[in-house]
Structure 1
């Protein structure tokens, strides 16, 4: 059985992994602007692509035009986010673009499914850290 502390530490490791990938200029696909704010608050600075208002095929065209061969998929964790993720995954993979879904899966795992969206990630982590008694 893992403690909340262990899960928080694992979640922080995932955030560090995301920071490293962003430093390598791998774009992060999110749904909207609030998702970007949340990630930036966590110290993740990189190229963000929002998909909520742009057809997926246009995003794929843009990635190919810019010779981008890999992206990190970070759509929300609710039903709509899962459907979005699948559609994006299918489209991008069919175009030969590598899609990292591992980070998204780890965030879901280490947040015990308590998180519904990326925009809540910063607040979720902040509250967990505040709750730790040293």
Structure 2
């Protein structure tokens, strides 16, 4: 798969995430993930996993406060394990979406949510360097993501 296609798929997933986050909170692993998503334009609720409480207690708090969430843990082994465990704990209590996580995992070529802004910046520069007669207006999402 070529780089342009990967970037296009990541941009589509992020556009969808920004839109959904207006009404659905996103669960991430840590503060660096939260900052990265803010940099990418998310303006809604972003919830970091609280290291001071168990995952079970965290899921209880989520189910008390929300009807639906988006799980966006990292794409490494630990993030996958957290995602599976959260799904188990939330099942039947909260509607959860892991589709965006799966799409980003497939196309982003990185393992951590916190790396998304710098990855996009890097690939945009790489694409500019390899595109003859580059027109900066051709990348509509670049400016909207505030990278």
Name the TM-score, length of structure 1 as normaliser: 0.89
Aligned to 1:47: 45
Query: What are the Cα deviations for residues 4-25 of structure 1, in whole angstroms up to 9, with x where unaligned?
Result: 112101110100000011012x
1:9 aligns with 2:8: yes
Aligned to 1:56: 55
3-state DSSP of counterpart to 2:47: strand
Aligned to 1:102: 99
Aligned to 2:79: 81
3-state DSSP of counterpart to 1:23: coil
Q: How many matched pairs? A: 128
Query: What are the Cα deviations for residues 76-99 of structure 1, in whole angstroms up to 9, with x where unaligned?
Result: 111111111111110011x42111
Ranges in structure 2 where 5+ consecutive residues have no aligned partner: 129-133, 135-147
State how far apart, in whole Å, the 1-side matches of 2:118 and 2:70 are: 21
Query: What are the Cα deviations for residues 42-71 of structure 1, in whole angstroms up to 9, with x where unaligned?
Result: 1111111111513222222222322x1111
Ranges in structure 1 where 5+ consecutive residues have no aligned partner: none
> 8 Å contact 2:26–2:46 — kept in the other structure?
yes
Name the TM-score, length of structure 2 as normaliser: 0.81
Which of structures 1 and 2 has the bigger CA Rg? 2
Aligned to 2:113: 118
Aligned to 1:128: 123
State how far apart, in whole Å, the 2-side matches of 1:52 and 1:69 are: 19
- Structure 1 segments (4+ residues) deviating >3 Å: none
